[in-house]
Structure formats: structure tokens, C-alpha cells
Structure 1
Amino acid sequence: MSNDTDDIDISTDRDKIDLAYCYGFIAESYWAGGRTRGEFDRSVEMSFPVGAYCDGRQVGFARVVSDQIAIAYVADVFVDPRYRRRGIAARMLETLHTHPELLRVKRWMLATNDMQPLYRLHGYEDLDDLMMMRVDEDAQRRDPLR
């Protein structure tokens, strides 16, 4: 596969998300083993999701849990192994960081056992071996949501 992502569509349209496909991946992950399909569906419903698609098929997913002002927690980030190393996770992160309803969020948190180098490229700093945080100092200067 090429390294470009011209053929990858990144979308925050929750109706496009293939919940069965995403749950299949999440259920096998180190971070969400034991989560039921109902719990996964509810977690997506209560979040700001983003998907990556190629030729109409889902190839990546991420979501953010947030109060839309003080804190955002990035969760369940994955890219199909056949599509990795093409910048897809980075594009999904950027889409979430610039989501119109999340522009006022100052502190972004996440937990990862293995992807610290990717997140550091996007402004996250290690808090410990698992937790990372990104502080958006410009968040409070942006127009309020209400």
C-alpha cells in the first residue's frame, strides 16, 4: 500500500460507523477486553466518534469523551493492521482536536501502553507509564460554545 491517505475518508458522521466491525476490533484489544457489545455501543453513543474509511469500508476508529470545556479523554483508537503506517490515526486525532464542539477543551487525556510516540507528535506529554496529557493553551481564547 502507498503511504498517502488520499483514498482515506475521515468522518465524524456517527451514522457511518460500522459498530459491529469496531466492536470486533475493540473486543480483542488489550485495553477493552471484556467490554460487551452493548457497553461498546453505549460508549460510542455517549462520545464524539470519528471513523476512517477506504472504498466505503471502515478501517479506523477513535472517540472522545468530554464535557466540551475542561476535559476530553481520547479512547478506543485503532487502525486496521492492513492500513497502518499511513497517517490515519494522526488524521483521526487531528479531526477530534479540531472538532467544532471540542475547540474550547483545554486538557486532553489518554491512556496507552504502546503508542506514546504517535501521541507525542500531537502534543501529548507523558504523565506516567500509561497516562498522557495534551494542554491546548489557546482553547479559552476561542469563541464560547454558548
Structure 2
Amino acid sequence: MIEISTDRTRIDLPYCYAFIAASYWSGGRTRGEFDRSVEMSFPVGAYCDGKQVGFARVVSDQIAIAYVADVFVDPGYRRRGIAAKMLDALHTHPELQRVKRWMLATHDMQPLYRQHGYEDLSDLMMMRVDEDAQKRGPLR
């Protein structure tokens, strides 16, 4: 059974960094830079039997814009809807309910993101507009 959690204390930073450091999008990020990026974001993890098997994070001002980054699922756990569940957890995160524009960059996962309301802006960039965001109550 897969569990999705936004509890940042559960994130297995060494595991996530090892995966991301080997990815095409990491850009040579150091471990310290990765740790800082998680600290400054809204992370979500996917877990199976207590072991982390997926990760994603959002960088946001919590009002106008959110940027989805570093989404991955361990190869042994793909095709189970885990990435979709992590996106759902981020889209419904209580501190991100007022965000109208959600952006991301991907070379290869456009079909997944289109299922969640993202539209192509270019070959690389995608955006999701939440028209109801401003109707929700303010954060403060």
C-alpha cells in the first residue's frame, strides 16, 4: 500500500538526493543545495512499507505562483499512480489553496501533467491555472 505524506520530517534526504543527482534535471546540484531546496519548499513523499519510493516539491509564494520540481518515482514503483497522488497532495495542500498559477518544466512527462490540468506553454514548460484559487479564504 502506498502512503502519501507532506510531513517534511519523513523525507529521506540521502535517498532523494541520490536519485535527483543522477537525473537529467539536477544541473550538478550539491547535497547542501538539495537540502536547502527542500527546506525552502513544500515537499511530498510517497512511501511503501515505510520506505520512501517517490518525491516531489513545490516552490511557492503561496498566493500567485507555484513551481513543481524534482518529481520522481523509484523505477520499481512506477505505473501505480504514485506521481499523480503526489501531485494531488500538493494541489490540495492547505497552504497552497490560494495559488492560481502552477508551473513546471519537463522533457518527458507531459501526459501525466495534462491529466492534472496542466497545458503546454512550450516543449518544456507547462502551466495549470486554478480559477477558483482566489475564491478560497485568505491564508491570514
Same fold, TM-score > 0.5, yes or no: yes
After TM superposition, the score normalised by the length of structure 1 is 0.95
Structure 1 gap ranges (5+): 1-6
**1:1-146 alignment, distance < 5 Å:** 7-146=1-140
Runs of 4 or more above 4 Å deviation: none
- Give the conservation status (yes or no) of the 8 Å contact 1:26–1:33: no
Cα distance in 2 for residues equivalent to 1:102 and 1:34: 29
Q: Secondary structure at the match of 1:114?
A: coil
The code of the aligned residue for 2:85 comes to R
Cα distance in 2 for residues equivalent to 1:52 and 1:109: 21
Give the C-alpha shift of residue 33 in structure 1. 3.7
Q: Secondary structure at the match of 1:129?
A: coil
Alpha-carbon RMSD across the aligned residues, in angstroms, is: 0.4
The code of the aligned residue for 1:137 comes to E
Cα distance in 2 for residues equivalent to 1:21 and 1:107: 30
Cα distance in 2 for residues equivalent to 1:122 and 1:78: 16
After TM superposition, the score normalised by the length of structure 2 is 0.99
Give the C-alpha shift of residue 11 in structure 1. 0.2
Cα distance in 1 for residues equivalent to 2:126 and 2:85: 19
Cα distance in 2 for residues equivalent to 1:132 and 1:85: 22
Structure 2 gap ranges (5+): none
